[in-house]
Amino acid sequence: MLRLGPWINVKARGPPLPRGRWIVASSTRVKLLTYLVPPETRPAQATAWAGRFTAREGLTVVEVLHERCAGLDISKRDVKVCIRVPGGRGRRYRNEVTTFGSMTGQILELRAFLLEQQVTLVVMESTGDYWKPFYYVLENAPFELLLVNPRHVRGLPGRKTDVSDAQWLADLGAHGLVRGSLVPPPPIRELRDLTRTHADLTRDRTREYNRLQSALEDAGIKLTSVASKINGVSCRLMLDALVAGERNPKILAGLAKASLREKRDQLTLAMTGRFTDHHAFLVAVHLQVIDQLTAAIDDLNTKIEVVTGPFRAQVALLETIPGVSQQIAQVIIAETGGDMTKFPTAGHLASWAGICPGHNQSAEVTKKAKTRPGNSYLKGALGTAAMSSMQVHETFLQDRHHRLKPRIGGLRTIVALEHSILRSVWHMLSTNQPYRELGAGYHQRRHPQNALRSITRQANRLGYTVRFEPIPQTA
261-272 pLDDT, tens digit per residue, is 999 999 999 999
Residue 19: its pLDDT value, please?
45
Query: Looking at residue 85, what is its pLDDT?
Result: 86
Please report the DSSP string for 5-57 in residue order.
Answer: -S------SSSPPPPS-EEEE-SSSS-EEEE-S-TTSSHHHHHHHHHHHHHHH
Q: Is the pLDDT of residue 1 over 80?
A: no
Nearest to 317 by CA among 418, 394, 430, 400: 430
Compute the mean pLDDT over every residue in the chain, rounded to the nearest whole number: 84
**426 neighbors 340 (Cβ within 8 angstroms):** yes
- Report the pLDDT value the prediction gives residue 357, as an integer from 0 to 100: 81
Whether pLDDT at 50 is above 60: no
With b for 16 or more beta-carbon neighbours within 10 A and e for fewer, the 55-90 pattern comes to eeeebebbebebebbbbbbbeeeebbbbbbbeeeee
Q: Per-residue pLDDT for 53 more than 60?
A: no
Task: Give the pLDDT mean for 375-403.
Answer: 93
Q: What is the pLDDT averaged over residues 229-257?
A: 91
User: What value, to the nearest 5°, has the Cα angle with vertex 451 and ends 445 and 454?
Assistant: 170
What is the predicted pLDDT for the residue at 40? 47
- Cα angle, residue 203 at apex, residues 197 and 205 outer, rounded to 5°: 105
Higher pLDDT pick, 203 / 259:
203
Please tell me the predicted confidence (pLDDT) of residue 9: 38
Please list the helix, strand and coil fractions of the chain in percent, rounded to the nearest 5, in that order.
50, 10, 35
Q: What is the pLDDT of residues 108-147, one digit of tens each?
A: 999 999 999 999 999 998 888 899 999 999 999 999 999 9
pLDDT band at 48 (very low <50, low <70, confident <90, very high): very low
Tens-place pLDDT, residues 25-37: 444 434 444 444 4
d(CA 303, CA 330): 12
Which helix (H) or strand (E) segment holds residue 97: the answer is strand 93-101
What pLDDT, on a 0 to 100 scale, did the predictor assign at position 475?
57
Predicted structure pTM score? 0.80
Q: What is the mean pLDDT of residues 42-51?
A: 44
Per-residue pLDDT band at 451 (split at 50, 70, 90): confident
| Residue 239, pLDDT above cutoff 50 | yes
Residue 156, pLDDT score: 66
pLDDT band at 192 (very low <50, low <70, confident <90, very high): very high
C-alpha 468/C-alpha 84 separation (Å) is: 74
Coil vs helix vs strand at 125: strand
| Between residues 89 and 8, the one the model is more confident about | 89
Q: What percentage of the chain carries pLDDT values higher than 70?
A: 85
User: Residue 91: what pLDDT?
Assistant: 58
CB atoms within 10 A of CB 283: 21
- Give CA separation, 434 vs 318, 341, 423, in Å: 7, 18, 13
Give the integer Cα–Cα distance in Å for 235 and 364: 60
The interaxial angle of helices 186-218 and 277-307, nearest 10 deg, is 160
